[in-house]
Amino acid sequence: MTRNVYRIGIIGYGTVGKGIVNVLEEQKERIASLVSREIEVEYVLVKDRLKKREGDLSFVYDWDAFKRSSFDVVFECIVGVEPAVSYATYFLEQGIPVITANKEMFAKKGKALREVASEYGTSIRYEATTGGAIPIIRSINELLHIQTFTRIDGIVNGTTNYLVTTLRKEGGDFFEHVKKAQEKGYAEADPSFDIDGWDALFKLRIMCESVFGKSPDKETRIPLGPFVQQVKPKEGERIRYIASAYFEEDVLHAVIAPKVILPEHPLFGVDGVTNAIALTTTYSDVLTFTGPGAGSYPTASAMVDDWISYVKLVKPVVPASAGR
């Protein structure tokens, strides 16, 4: 008798891809209970044939070979728009759900991908694109029945929050702290994606679509470095690199900018690589969500949770032992 198993495909085996494999293995029995089937990683698509990889996974180096496999779900774990959007589109057109943490791809192509998913009766899930382990997209969707959101303020980049925290506690030169963050693995070799605000902007675009149902009309992005070199907070003040979205008349603004804030601000106490998102609402004032912003396990667990939520939403409950 055919085994009743979820066949999983993973695109990419970097920090996030490895995290997905680890979470699936470490929580295998629990996940099987939640989705009412066994789970199995069938193939992992990678591009470097020469790189040595441990474990008993089945790695595939050829896209044509990977796409011929019969997957029930695909985790997209690479960066950039292409080839990620082409890979995601292909599987959505086969009716296969795709789970992604790729904020650049989704910020630029999310609307088109959602339309493809809808056309082919499946879903693209993107919880992990915005706040790492913070389940902000699901929280927004669950609160939107009665609540109306009027503003977003968030610390959505762990690298820059680590930098401003370290600078406050230790002093010194900002770019020296960037070098130290690179040595510790908190910052990329090219840190501009983080410290110039692109990462935060992509995440804010995605949240604007979920909160306000549209992309920003006007975007402003102010790099962190020059600000922290010129501005010295007074005692009791702190610098935060904040992503904000709000309306002025009918114009939706998205602003990534360093700000000096006071203790009463909801993001004042958020230090280190932690992320936090504060949503201003009509009935509950400010709701603040806090959690790990990045890293292998926070991102991977958010993606696996996102998939499980999808399965429980669309699939009937079947005993996990069925079909064995």
- Yes or no: say if 278 and 261 are a contact pair by the CB < 8 Å rule: no
Is 15 annotated in a binding site? The answer is: yes
**Residue 114: count of CB within 10 angstroms of its CB:** 16
Is 188 annotated in a binding site? The answer is: yes
Q: Which of 18, 109, 203, 259 is catalytic?
A: 203
- Yes or no: say if 128 and 306 are a contact pair by the CB < 8 Å rule: yes
In the annotation, is 234 catalytic?
Answer: no
Tokens of 266: 């909801």
Is 13 annotated in a binding site? The answer is: yes
- Yes or no: say if 47 and 61 are a contact pair by the CB < 8 Å rule: yes
Burial (CB count <10 Å: 0-12, 13-18, 19+), residue 294: buried
Is 158 annotated in a binding site? The answer is: no
Decide: helix, strand or coil at residue 323.
Answer: coil
Is 172 annotated in a binding site? The answer is: no
Cis bond upstream, residue 83 (ω within 30): yes
Is 103 annotated in a binding site? The answer is: yes
SS3 letters across 51-107:
CCCCCCCCEECCHHHHHCCCCCEEEECCCCCCCHHHHHHHHHHCCCCEEECCHHHHH
Contacts of 57 (CB under 8 A, 6+ apart): 21, 41, 44
Binding residues for NADP(+): 12-17
Binding residues: 12-17, 103, 188
Binding residues for NADPH: 103
Active site residues: 203
